[in-house]
Amino acid sequence: MQQIKQIKVGNLEFDCIVTGEEKNEAVIFLHGFPETSFMWSKIMEKIASLGFYCIAPNMRGYSKNACPKGVKNYTIENLSADILNIADAVNVDKFHLVAHDWGAGIGWNIVYNNPDRIISWTALSIPHSRAFGKAIKTDKEQKKKSRYIGWFLIPIIPEIMLRKNDFEKFRRLWKHSSPEELKNYLSVFKRKQSLTAALNYYRANFGKGKRKPIGNVSTPTLFIWGKNDLAVGAKAAEYNHRYMKGDYTFLELNAGHWLIQTNYLEVETAIAEHLSKYKSVANKV
């Protein structure tokens, strides 16, 4: 049964959805933008039924009491440290990681820098940062798809525009979301500080010299991408395998960016199989 648990990390307190038995192997789910941990609610029940303990935090800026002011607080290093600290706070050493969109961007960083802690890795929509970066530099389609990032780097104006007509721009992106999901998302983004915090993920990590490059990944990896993704083109997805040095599975779907909403069964099946395959032998039922 799912419950909301507040997990304290230093001065920050994260709102987390948890389900499953704490004694089981852990899976941490990271949401993207503009979403919350609520996006994982349904699949967490399925994964918990397979004998896992599931944790999905509302990440920094999205949790009301973990929303520091200032762009500098939203670097990839801070966002990555939060997830490891949440794991530590619930006495989890090694865990599986599943993430979408910005969560996946953070996840790649965690997996590369902490291979000893990640049992398996599943990224939805967003490839390895070097694959993404290469595509942005060399591929016309990707350059076009990524133009919105520059707009998000502008102070104040994006916040004003996004709030217009009761978040009309976001509502277009959420057209496949359930009414419950929509209500949850709006409860976060209607907080002025949280919308700015979410945009600060871009402001803190994009621009010349902002992000430290990461290297090859050896952790067993599943990458799920929709061929009609509005933000990530084919070249970025194609380049991803270059940085995979361990077991690697690439699943291309006839889908857009919002995979969990539009292609739920395919995503659930793939993630369940990947997690079950790499479940520690001692914990296999």
Write the pLDDT tens digit of every residue in 48-63: 999 999 999 999 999 9
pLDDT at position 169 over 60: yes
Residue 39 CA to residue 36 CA, distance in Å, equals 6
Which band of pLDDT confidence, cut at 50, 70 and 90, is reported for residue 208?
Answer: low
Across residues 125-143, what is the average pLDDT?
96
pLDDT recorded at residue 207: 76
Global pTM value: 0.97
For the residues of the chain, what is the DSSP string, one character each? --EEEEEEETTEEEEEEEES-TTSEEEEEE--TT--GGGGHHHHHHHHHTTEEEEEE--TTTSTTS--SSGGGG-HHHHHHHHHHHHHHTT--SEEEEEETHHHHHHHHHHHH-TTTEEEEEEES---HHHHHHHHHH-HHHHHHTHHHHHHTSSSHHHHHHHHHHHHHHHHHTTTS-HHHHHHHHHHHTSHHHHHHHHHHHHHH-STT-S-----B-S-EEEEEETT-SS--HHHHHHGGGGB-S-EEEEEES--S-HHHHSHHHHHHHHHHHHHHHS-GGG--
| pLDDT per residue as tens digits for the range 172-197 | 999 999 999 999 999 999 999 999 99
Tell me the average pLDDT of the chain.
Answer: 96
pLDDT above 80 for 282: no
Whether 285 shows a pLDDT value over 50: the answer reads: no
Residue 85 has pLDDT above 70, yes or no: yes
Q: How far apart are CA 261 and CA 40, in angstroms?
A: 10
Per-residue pLDDT, 193: 97
**pLDDT tens-place string over residues 100-115:** 999 999 999 999 999 9
Provide the pLDDT for residue 24.
97
When pLDDT is cut at 50, 70 and 90, the band that residue 213 belongs to is confident
**Cβ neighbours around 113 below 10 Å, total:** 17
Q: pLDDT tens digit string along 228-281?
A: 999 999 999 999 999 999 999 999 999 999 999 999 999 999 999 999 999 985
3-207+217-280 sits in which CATH class? Answer: alpha beta
Q: From the centroid of its chain, how far is CA 134? A: 21
> Looking at residue 283, what is its pLDDT?
54
